[in-house]
Chains A and B, each alone.
Chain A
Amino acid sequence: MRHFDREIEELKELLLRMGAMVEEQINESIRALLERDSAVAQRVIDADSDVDRMELVIDQHTIELIATMQPAAVDLRFVATAMKITPDLERIADLAVDVCERAIELNAEPPLKPLMDIPRLARIAQDMVRQSLDAFVRRDATLAREVIARDDEVDRLTEQSFRELLTYMLEDSKNISRAIRLTFIGKYFERIADGATNICEMVVYLVEGKVIKHSNEPS
């Protein structure tokens, strides 16, 4: 293997490690929410600095790779993809932290039942993140496009659960604070799904060289 290929492999390893960390954060944040476990939530919040550090490490690596290896064609697209995926991953991790912060606040009050569609929304978002990383590893543009298509479903669910929560708020003013927090959580998961969509757009660019960001390309 050329030593350049080894450098690319190393970068891929780092990205996958960061992806695994982020998936773990999402998983734990959902657990903290559903099981009302503030200790878990706190662990997620504390672990966020590790994710931030990974982003810096990968940044450094990609710049060095460009400076010293002058990658071209698919190698160049790979490095560009790496540079654009890491902030998305980092933001997804931050969103998981936000979810945990709201979860801790919710756990201070009695549960508002039911949680509406939030758990389903959360699972879909989690799924999308996992699949986007899969698509990246396997360089599977078809899978990436499928994930992008699911974003519509996520948007619908978010809207739906918002309307349901609104009803709750109108019913009883004591529900308002918890309902608002849940609304936020729904929004956070929606934005996690958006992050996964961004990642998938980069995967399509990596595999096909086509930029489908900001376009209305059909799935």
Chain B
Amino acid sequence: MTPKIEVRDFNFFYGESKVLHSIELDIPEKQVTALIGPSGCGKSTFLRSINRMNDIIAGARAEGRIAIDGQDLYAPGVDVVSLRRRIGMVFQKSNPFPKSIYENIAYGLRIGGVKDRRVIDETVERSLRRAALWDEVKDRLGRSALALSGGQQQRLCIARALAVDPDVLLMDEPASALDPIATQKIEELVYELKNNYTIVIVTHNMQQAARVSDRTAFFMLGKLVEYNETRTIFMNPGQKLTEDYITGRFG
């Protein structure tokens, strides 16, 4: 089975310093792949490289290949804007626009040129259902998104990302700012979503990675140390570094 995302000899620089070294991995389709590692190991940088969000950072430079469905994202002439439409992203701290709930989700559609009110209505409902938020907000779609609780806001951001029907969903520590109950809801949601989307999730919470993912990649100091089935990583990892990290013997 061809992997959804192929990474070959990927290196990343912030100015002069190299923060990712020769990353190689294949991310399978419609599964959850978790990226774990101590702070500063490059997992977030790598995640953001997948939808080229690092482009907006000063002095950022990428070398190597990341391909989705065989198409290299870093090839010259790639339209980053349309690329980002195929890849959804959810951030660590929920960042809904200061607009109504409805407009937040319609945003992606509107910039895609969709004008038909019915289509937008349907998509808004579908996205909110997929994000397990519909029942809670269906009577107040016109109210400001900022009035929602933290966990609801994050689910709204997930719905917003889903509205443009991406293939891939990137999540950067989506639950780290939430309380345990909200976290659990997000984890359940991820488990549901993987039926339809390829998900890559960065988390500093190892147990979360163990609960939620099918495959886990362990990063350290910008290098990919080990990448395997989550079961294997957490029961019997191949590298001592991995084992030390998982057992909490350092950082």
Contacts and interface: CB of A to CB of B under 8 A. Distances in A.
Interface of A: 2-4, 63-64, 67-70
B191 A63 contact: no
A68 B211 contact: yes
Name the residue in A3, A64, A68, A69 with the highest tally of chain B Cβ atoms < 10 Å from its Cβ: A68
Contacts of A63: 235
A70 B188 CA distance: 15
Is chain B's binding surface mostly helix, strand, loop or mixed?
A: helix
Contacts of B184: 2
Main SS class of interface, A:
helix
A34 B234 CA distance: 50
22 contacts: A2-B184, A2-B188, A3-B188, A3-B191, A4-B211, A63-B235, A64-B231, A64-B235, A67-B210, A67-B231, A67-B234, A67-B235, A68-B210, A68-B211, A68-B230, A68-B231, A68-B234, A69-B210, A69-B211, A70-B207, A70-B210, A70-B211
Given A64-B235, A67-B210, 15 more contacts: A2-B184, A3-B188, A3-B191, A4-B211, A63-B235, A64-B231, A67-B234, A68-B210, A68-B231, A68-B234, A69-B210, A69-B211, A70-B207, A70-B210, A70-B211
A64 B184 CA distance: 20
Interface residues on B, range: 10 to 19
Contacts of A2: 184, 188
Contacts of B235: 63-64, 67
Contacts of A67: 210, 231, 234-235
A63 to B, nearest CB: 6
A199 B231 CA distance: 29
Contacts of A64: 231, 235
B193 to A, nearest CB: 12
Nearest to A2: B188
Nearest to A4: B211
A63 B234 CA distance: 10
Interface string B181-219: 000100010010000000000000001001100000000
A193 B55 CA distance: 70
Contacts of A68: 210-211, 230-231, 234
A65 to B, nearest CB: 10
Contacts of A4: 211
B234 to A, nearest CB: 4
Nearest to A63: B235
Nearest to B208: A70
B46 to A, nearest CB: 23
A68 B207 CA distance: 7
A64 B235 CA distance: 7
Nearest to B246: A67
